[in-house]
Amino acid sequence: MKFSVLDLCPVPEGSDAAQAMRNTVDLARHAESLGYHRYWMAEHHNMPGIASAATSVLLGHVASQTSTIRVGAGGIMLPNHAPLTIAEQFGTLATLYGDRIDLGLGRAPGGDGNVWHALRRGREGQDSFPQDVMELQSYLADADPRAPVQAHPGQGTHVPIWILGSSLYGAQLAAHLGLPYAFASHFAPDALEEASYLYRRDFKPSAQLDAPHFMLAVNVLAADTDAEAAYLRTSVQQAFARLRTGKPGKLPRPVEDIDAEIGAGLRQGVDHALRISAVGSEDSVRRQLADLIDRYSPDELILTGQIHDQAARKKSFGIAAKVLNDMPQQADRPLESA
């Protein structure tokens, strides 16, 4: 099973965006050396704790500093952009770095209402996501000489497009268009089982993909001991709690008592949202990842780990890679009803 990295380019408390970007390059090189298949980054706006807002720019930097790992967006929030612009950006990346570039597309704005106004004034209420995806596909396909507009660079690059989502909408669209599907189970897992079932059931083969390809997103926080991993996890618990209460900030330092920091009630809600996770020592992470693979039968895993300390973050991805490289391949099993 292929396994990949989702990096939000976190800005830790006490640091800045420039260091976060250096950390991203460091982690990408490390992931490449460990055998990770893809290195994806996501578009977020107006968030001081995430430095990947200009996603295609940062992806180009990561691609220039690596040589074999696939590099891509997980994802670009397409409602924020004209499809032609994204085709030109990712066509440029593919022209520079060859067949290493992926383009994952999301339907959310990647920010709040103020961001929506700042990015797309006058476009409220219009949902043209399926049409925009198909338009973008046409710009990356072989050039049609009759087309009034073409993407240069872009035409003929055939950058692989993925649909991202956390609801049934994305699963149904990915199935209808015959595209690979990545589910945001690392922070919004409630529709996971039904979405994965509908995607596989309704998938229609396409020029890009013959059979469904489902990617499961998992939070992984691995360390020498379960206690140390639980301590590291408190950073993402705090960050998610602050986001839910409208107070986003830089990635917090870990704390010894998470309930004292955010309250037991809020912590329980956060833990529910983050429940697709593997947290603990190597043995614990092996057991939890095996359970998730057995339950959801993904074709690929994408791991994310919001850890304040860069050395601890690299170590966590190293432990996860060891576990997954050592794990026996899962046999295909019949599709079951959700």
pLDDT at 333: 39
Average pLDDT, the chain: 94
Find tokens 């032609």 and name the residue: 84
- H/E run at residue 182: strand 181-183
Q: What is the pLDDT of residues 89-102, one digit of tens each?
A: 999 999 999 999 99
What are the tokens at 36? 């990770």
pLDDT exceeds cutoff 90 at 118 = no
pLDDT exceeds cutoff 50 at 336 = no
Q: Bridge partners of 301? A: 3, 216
Mean pLDDT for 164-190 is 97
Among candidates 76, 89, 88, 14, which has minimal Cα distance to 45? 76
pLDDT exceeds cutoff 50 at 335 = no
Confidence class of residue 126 from pLDDT cuts 50, 70 and 90? low
CA distance 275 to 173: 25
Q: Residue 210: what residue type?
A: D
Domains of the chain plus CATH, in order, are 2-222+276-326 (3.20.20.30)
Among candidates 239, 245, 193, which has minimal Cα distance to 216? 193
Confidence class of residue 117 from pLDDT cuts 50, 70 and 90? confident
Q: Is the dihedral of CA 118, 119, 121, 127 positive or negative?
A: negative
CA distance 187 to 152: 36
pLDDT at 338: 36
CA distance 279 to 289: 9
What are the tokens at 263? 């309250």
Q: What is the pLDDT of residues 38-73, one digit of tens each?
A: 999 999 999 999 999 999 999 999 999 999 999 999
Q: Is the peptide bond before 75 cis (omega within 30 degrees of 0)?
A: yes
pLDDT exceeds cutoff 70 at 294 = yes
Find tokens 């993402």 and name the residue: 236
Q: What is the pLDDT of residues 145-155, one digit of tens each?
A: 999 999 999 99
pLDDT exceeds cutoff 50 at 334 = no
Confidence class of residue 1 from pLDDT cuts 50, 70 and 90? confident
Percentage of the chain modeled with pLDDT above 70: 94
**The pTM is what?**
0.94
Among candidates 29, 24, 50, which has minimal Cα distance to 242? 50
Distance of CA 169 to the CA centre of its chain: 17
CA distance 83 to 47: 24
**Is 34 in contact with 67 (CB distance < 8 Å)?**
no
Tell me the three state secondary structure of residue 253. Answer: coil
